[in-house]
Amino acid sequence: MQQQNPSDFKRMLTTAAVAIVFMMAWQHFFPAAQPQQQQAAQQQQTAAQPQAAPLGATVPVSVETDTVKATIDEKSGDLRGLTLQHYDATHDTAQSFTLFADGKPLTYVAQSNLVDANGNNILANANFQAATKSQTLNGDKLEVRLSAPAQNGVQVDKIYTFTKGSYLVNVRFEVKNTSSQAVKLGTSYQIVRDNSKPAGEGWFTSSYVGPIVYTPDADAFQKVQFATLDKDFEAGKDTAEYQRKASGGYVGMIQHYFASAWIMQPENGENLCTGGSCTIGIKRLPSNLYSAGVNTAAVDIPAGGSKTFAANLYAGPQVTSILKTIAPKFELTKDYGRVHIFASPLFALLNWLHGIIGNWGWAIIVLTLIVKAILFPLNQKAYKSMAKMRAVQPKMDALKKKYPNPEDRMAMQQELMKLYRDEKINPLGGCLPMLIQMPIFIGLYWMIFLSVELRQAPWLGWIHDLSRPDPFYILPILMAVTMYLQTKMSPPPSDPTQAQMMKIMPLMFSVMFFFFPAALVLYYVVNNLLTIAQQWLINRQTAAAAPANGAPKVEVLDKEPTKNKKKK
C-alpha cells in the first residue's frame, strides 16, 4: 500500500472542513456567557414572568395600509394576522407574504394585556368592541380603537396606531379608574408562535427560527432554541439561558428575512423599563406554542385617575436601514452569528455599492472583485506554494516508487522533508492562507444569504429575484464548470479512487447550488472565475521560471530498487 499525497484541491477542501469544524467546536465549548445575576435569579422568577393568553376564535377587524394588511381579534385585542404588501409569498409570487397567522399551517400572533401586581391578566374576560370592522389608511396615520366595558371600576380602551410606510405599530392602553380605590396595573407584551419552519426552508437554506432577546444589561443578542424550551417544559424547570431582568432592549421572534419584537427601549422614545423594572419571559406553553415577552412594572392608578401605557411592536423585514431606526442594536435581529464582525461591514460595503450601481447583482460582482483584490496577497502566497508543490510533484512520485513498502514510510518522510527544505517549500503554505480567509468567506455567505434586501431584486435577463434559485439553473451549471476547471488545474491524486472522487465532486457540489439563492451562486461563480485566472497566471509564471532556475531533470524510477525488493 502506497502513501498518497493529496492534491492541492483536496487540501483546500480539507481547509474548509477544518474551518467549519473549528467554528462548530468554538460554539460548543465557548457558548454565549450567561449573566451572573440571571443565573442566581432563574429559579426564583418563574411566577413573575410574562404569561401568554390562550387563543380563542378570531373575530376579525381588518386593517390595510400601504405596507401591511392586519387582522385584529376584536374580542381579545390580539394582532392575529399580518401580511406584508411589498413582499411575495415564498411559494406563490401572486400572494403577499404572511408573517402573522392564527391557525394551521402557522400560528404566530402578537399579544398585549394589562396585568395586576401579581402578573395576572385583568383583560382575560374582557370583550373589546370596535366601531368599524374594516379600516384603511388614507393619511399618514390610522388609529384603530377597541373599547371594553368597565370591570371592577376599570375602563380600558386599546388603540393600535399604524403609520404610512412603516412596519412599526404602536399599541397603547388608555385606562380610567372609576372605582373608589387605587389599582396597581402593569403591562404584558408577548410574541406567541409555533415551532414550524418557514415556507421554503430546506436542508441547504436554513437559518435560525425562534425567540430572541437583547438587553443592555447583558449587552448580548441571545437566542433561545425551541428544543431548549421543550426540555424545560418536560422537566418543569426554567433553566434556559437569557437575561431575565431588563432595563431596556427588545424581545421577540426571528426567522429568515423577517422579525417581530416588542421594543422596550425605542431609538427615539420612552424607555418602558427604567431602573431595570422589566421582566423577560421565554417559554413553551401548554398549548405547544412558544412565547417570548416582557412584563413592565405595575404602577398605582389612584381612584378617579387615568393612565396611558404604550409600547411599539415591530413586525416586518430585516432591512438593515430600517432596523437601525427602531431601537439600539436592533440590527442584530439580522442574525449573522459568530461572523457578525465580518458580515456586517461586508453588507455595509455591498449596500454602498448598490447605492452607486443601482443593481444588487452587479453590486455583488463588484464586491467580489474588491474582496478578491484585498485578499490578493494571501491568495498569491497560497497559489505560489501550490505551484511549487506541482513543480516537484515528479520528484515526490519518484520517492513513492522508491519506497513502495509500508515499512519504508519513515525513510520516505525524511526524504520528503529534505526535498521541501532543498526546494524551499512549506507544505502548509497553500493551506494556511486559505484558513485565514475562511471566516471572511463564511461571513460573505451569511451576509448574502440573510439579506432580505435581495428578495425580489432582479439582476439581468432570467434572474428576476436574487433570493430565489436560478429558474433555469444556468448559474449552478457555470458553478460546476468552474469547479471542474479548478480540479483540472490541480494534479490528480495518484490513487485512482481519489482521482475519481475529484472528478465527480464538482457535480456533487453543483447539486447543492441548484437549491441556493441565485445571489449566492453568482458570488461563487465570479469568485471561482477570478481564482482560476489568478491560478492560471501563477502556473504560467512558475512554468516560465523553471528552465531559468536550472531545475534538474527528474528521474522517475519505473522499477523498484534492488535493495527494497523482498527476498524470496
pLDDT digits (tens, 9 = 90+) for 242-277: 999 999 999 999 999 999 999 999 988 899 998 888
Q: What is the mean pLDDT of residues 467-488?
A: 90
Q: What pLDDT score does 78 carry?
A: 97
Contact 107, 122 (CB under 8 A): no
Contact 209, 254 (CB under 8 A): yes
* pTM recorded for the entire structure: 0.82
Q: What is the mean pLDDT of residues 154-177?
A: 98
Distance CA 509, CA 505 (A): 6
Contact 105, 196 (CB under 8 A): yes
Residue 328 has pLDDT above 90, yes or no: yes
Model confidence over 182-231: pLDDT tens digits? 999 999 999 999 999 998 787 767 899 999 999 999 999 999 999 999 99
Of 117, 145, 115, the C-alpha closest to 129 is: 145
Residue 474 pLDDT level (bands cut at 50, 70, 90): very high
Instruction: Compute φ and ψ for 341, nearest 5 degrees.
Output: -60, -25
Residue 429 pLDDT level (bands cut at 50, 70, 90): low
Percentages helix, strand, coil for the chain (3-state, rounded to 5) are 40, 25, 35
For 219-352, where are the E strands, in sequence order?
220-223, 245-246, 250-255, 258-263, 278-284, 290-295, 299-301, 306-317
Distance CA 489, CA 493 (A): 12
Residues contacting residue 452 through CB under 8 Å, at least 6 positions apart: 257, 258, 317, 318, 319, 334, 467
Q: What is the mean pLDDT of residues 42-64?
A: 70
Q: Which residue has the higher pLDDT, 261 or 11?
A: 261
Residue 53 pLDDT level (bands cut at 50, 70, 90): low
| Span of 156-170, 281-295, 358-372, 530-544 with lowest mean pLDDT | 530-544
For 404-552, where are the E strands, in sequence order?
none
Ramachandran area for residue 107 (φ above 0: left; ψ -120 to 50: alpha; else beta): beta
Contact 524, 444 (CB under 8 A): no
The helix (run of H) or strand (run of E) holding residue 71 is strand 68-73
Residue 76 is given by DSSP the state: T
Q: What pLDDT score does 10 carry?
A: 44
Percent of the chain exceeding pLDDT 70 equals 81
Distance CA 527, CA 513 (A): 14
Q: What pLDDT score does 547 carry?
A: 54
Q: What is the mean pLDDT of residues 408-419?
A: 80
Instruction: Compute φ and ψ for 11, nearest 5 degrees.
Output: -65, -40
Q: Which residue has the higher pLDDT, 12 or 57?
A: 57
Contact 446, 337 (CB under 8 A): yes
Residues contacting residue 545 through CB under 8 Å, at least 6 positions apart: none
Q: Which residue has the higher pLDDT, 293 or 58?
A: 293
Residue 401 has pLDDT above 50, yes or no: yes
Mean per-residue pLDDT over the chain, rounded: 84
Q: What is the mean pLDDT of residues 374-396?
A: 73
Residue 17 pLDDT level (bands cut at 50, 70, 90): very low
Residue 42 has pLDDT above 80, yes or no: no
Q: What pLDDT score does 48 carry?
A: 53
Residue 456 pLDDT level (bands cut at 50, 70, 90): very high
| Span of 102-106, 110-114, 476-480, 556-560 with lowest mean pLDDT | 556-560
Task: List, in sequence order, the alpha helices (H) in 453-495.
Answer: 474-488
Model confidence over 332-384: pLDDT tens digits? 999 999 899 999 999 999 999 999 999 999 999 999 999 989 888 876 776 66
Instruction: Give whole-number Cα distances, 438 to 14, 20, 189, 251, 526, in Å.
Output: 12, 9, 41, 32, 17
Contact 133, 273 (CB under 8 A): no
Q: What is the mean pLDDT of residues 44-67?
A: 76
Q: What pLDDT score does 187 carry?
A: 97
Q: What pLDDT score does 3 carry?
A: 38
Of 254, 264, 244, the C-alpha closest to 112 is: 264
Residue 431 pLDDT level (bands cut at 50, 70, 90): low
Model confidence over 72-95: pLDDT tens digits? 999 999 999 999 999 999 989 899
Q: What pLDDT score does 418 carry?
A: 81
| Span of 289-293, 454-458, 535-539 with lowest mean pLDDT | 535-539
Q: What does the CA dihedral 297, 298, 299, 302 come to, rounded to 10 degrees?
A: 170
Helices 360-374 and 518-548, axial angle in degrees (round to 10): 30
Q: What is the mean pLDDT of residues 131-156?
A: 96
Residue 319 pLDDT level (bands cut at 50, 70, 90): very high
Q: What is the mean pLDDT of residues 516-528?
A: 94
Distance CA 333, CA 213 (A): 9
Contact 165, 66 (CB under 8 A): yes
User: Residue 254: what residue type?
Assistant: I
- Which of helix, strand or coil describes residue 48? helix
The helix (run of H) or strand (run of E) holding residue 171 is strand 168-177
Instruction: Compute φ and ψ for 140, nearest 5 degrees.
Output: -85, -30
Q: Dihedral sign for Cα 330, 334, 336, 340, please.
A: negative
Upstream peptide bond of 492 is cis (omega within 30 degrees of 0) = no
Residue 558 has pLDDT above 70, yes or no: no
As to burial, measured by CB atoms within 10 angstroms (0-12 exposed, 13-18 middle, 19+ buried), residue 221 is buried
Contact 105, 114 (CB under 8 A): no
Residue 423 pLDDT level (bands cut at 50, 70, 90): confident
Identify the bridge partners of residue 299 per DSSP, sorted by sequence position.
Answer: 185
